[in-house]
Amino acid sequence: MSKTVALHTLGCKLNFSETSSMARLLEQEGFVKKDFDEVADVYVINTCSVTDNADKECRYLVRSIQRKAPEAMVVITGCYAQLKPQEIAAIPGVDLVLGAAEKFNITQHLKDIAKTGEAKICSCDIEDVNTFTASYSKNDRTRTFLKVQDGCDYNCSFCTIPMARGKSRSDTIANVVDNVKNLAATGVKEIVLTGVNLGDFGKGNFGGKKTEETFFELLQELDTVDGIERYRISSIEPNLLSNDIIELVCNSKKVMPHFHIPLQSGSNKTLGMMRRRYKREMYEEKVGLIKTMMPHCCIGVDVIVGFPGETDEDFKETFDFLHRLDISYLHVFTYSERDNTHALTIKPVVPVSVRNERNKQLRNLSYQKLQYFTQQHVGQTRKVLFEKQEKGNLMEGYTDNYIKITAPYTATWANNIVPWTI
């Protein structure tokens, strides 16, 4: 009888695409996929280092597995498994911990392991991780997340991602185009290009060879592939968002008018302490250029509140900066301490209650920004890609510029692009 496997993702779109790829590898070996709340022979949890309480979440999930399937094999992988393998291995019920270089060898590792009550750790130093494995999500959602880049060469003082994922490395343009053609042949309409630091696409090695390709060139090539109707850029650092890329998006019918650009702080003093590679003036210039060329463009912003040393005045600077900036929504993160980061040495620490209050203020601002952005488009007809899932008698979709639409469920609209008057 076939073995069964259930997988669970914590964290970002990159992890989501990697979990999908691990699932495909396991299915190719004969495993049958189950939902995570069902009984299975093997459970895989793909962890995140950015999520608060990654260890608590992991413990909670492992306990829930032990209750429903005490004999099942439990595998933990992902960023947290790379950063804290011993800690993960000590969780009762964990059988196998796979580091960054080993997650795509999961089928081999499962052949070599038996349930002994002791967790086996398969991990190496992150400096030795230099391979790139393309991943994409499929059949899980209407949009497909395609990983084209991994790792990061920056050293932002709050961030553990370079320690969990290693140096920047990418796929080649030729491989990405092949993957995109294959996805198009299976009916995929929209691809979200995903990476840790997408703007650095092409930097670093691929298969031991140095590539000289750029993210701009990748977009140029993808624009010409038949079959795929939409691309989105998941996120791009402001200093790597070149005017050429903005112009390409403006002239492209396929790359959607939607940018997600991490700002993190609107205070130059805080940006310096965060070791970010730009000043707020550059950010403002990029937003200004985008909105001049594409007034309908959606712009999302990541921002962190309560970074050490952030005074009330610094926060007010961030708030006022975002208030006047022509952006569409915010993703607000409350700063939390991470082991082995430079930010731990910066004083004074902001009390948690103040961090939470600042978060609340920016979430309110985000709500107002999104209302305003949506209001500007009322009466316009825009193209909506409707998702497959039926929710009650309703369905959801997104316009080209990422306005969420809810409509009565119509089967023929699922995974199709429909003109819609907002």
**Residues near ligand SF4 (CB under 6 A):** 152, 154-156, 159, 161-162, 196-197, 237
- The H-assigned helical ranges of 102-227 are 106-111, 161-165, 173-185, 215-222
Backbone torsions φ then ψ of 374, nearest 5 degrees: -65, -45
CB 327 within 8 A of CB 301: yes
Please state, in angstroms and rounded to a whole number, the distance separating the CA atoms of residues 168 and 324: 34
DSSP helix/strand/coil, 210: strand
* Amino acid, res. 407: A
131 to each of 103, 135, 171, how far by Cα in Å?
Answer: 12, 13, 10
What sign does the dihedral 97-101-106-112 (CA atoms) show? Answer: negative
Complex with ligand SF4: residue 93 or 162, whichever CB lies closer:
162
- Residue 158 contacts by C-beta under 8 Å, 6 or more apart in sequence? 274, 304, 307, 335, 338, 341, 343
**Minimum separation from the CB atom of position 139 to ligand SF4 (A):** 28
**Minimum separation from the CB atom of position 267 to ligand SF4 (A):** 17
Backbone torsions φ then ψ of 220, nearest 5 degrees: -55, -45
* Amino acid, res. 227: G
Complex with ligand SF4: residue 94 or 196, whichever CB lies closer:
196
Query: 407 has which bridge partners?
Result: 395
Complex with ligand SF4: residue 65 or 240, whichever CB lies closer:
240
**Minimum separation from the CB atom of position 276 to ligand SF4 (A):** 7
Complex with ligand SF4: residue 26 or 245, whichever CB lies closer:
245
**Minimum separation from the CB atom of position 168 to ligand SF4 (A):** 9
Complex with ligand SF4: residue 36 or 154, whichever CB lies closer:
154
**Minimum separation from the CB atom of position 76 to ligand SF4 (A):** 22
Query: Nearest to residue 198, comparing CAs of 142, 143, 262, 141?
Result: 262
Complex with ligand SF4: residue 41 or 237, whichever CB lies closer:
237
Complex with ligand SF4: residue 4 or 197, whichever CB lies closer:
197
**Minimum separation from the CB atom of position 343 to ligand SF4 (A):** 11
- The H-assigned helical ranges of 69-166 are 79-83, 85-89, 106-111, 161-165
Q: What is the CA radius of gyration of the chain?
A: 22
Please state, in angstroms and rounded to a whole number, the distance separating the CA atoms of residues 203 and 212: 7
HSE-up of 89 (CA within 13 Å, CB side)? 16
Query: 405 has which bridge partners?
Result: 397
**Minimum separation from the CB atom of position 304 to ligand SF4 (A):** 9
Tokens of 186: 């299976």
Complex with ligand SF4: residue 156 or 395, whichever CB lies closer:
156
**Minimum separation from the CB atom of position 272 to ligand SF4 (A):** 14
Complex with ligand SF4: residue 197 or 359, whichever CB lies closer:
197
**Minimum separation from the CB atom of position 248 to ligand SF4 (A):** 22
* Amino acid, res. 241: L
Complex with ligand SF4: residue 146 or 152, whichever CB lies closer:
152
Complex with ligand SF4: residue 81 or 403, whichever CB lies closer:
81
**Minimum separation from the CB atom of position 127 to ligand SF4 (A):** 16
Query: Nearest to residue 298, comparing CAs of 370, 199, 222?
Result: 370
- Residue 331, Cβ density class (10 Å: 0-12 exposed, 13-18 middle, ≥19 buried): middle
**Minimum separation from the CB atom of position 195 to ligand SF4 (A):** 10
HSE-up of 31 (CA within 13 Å, CB side)? 23
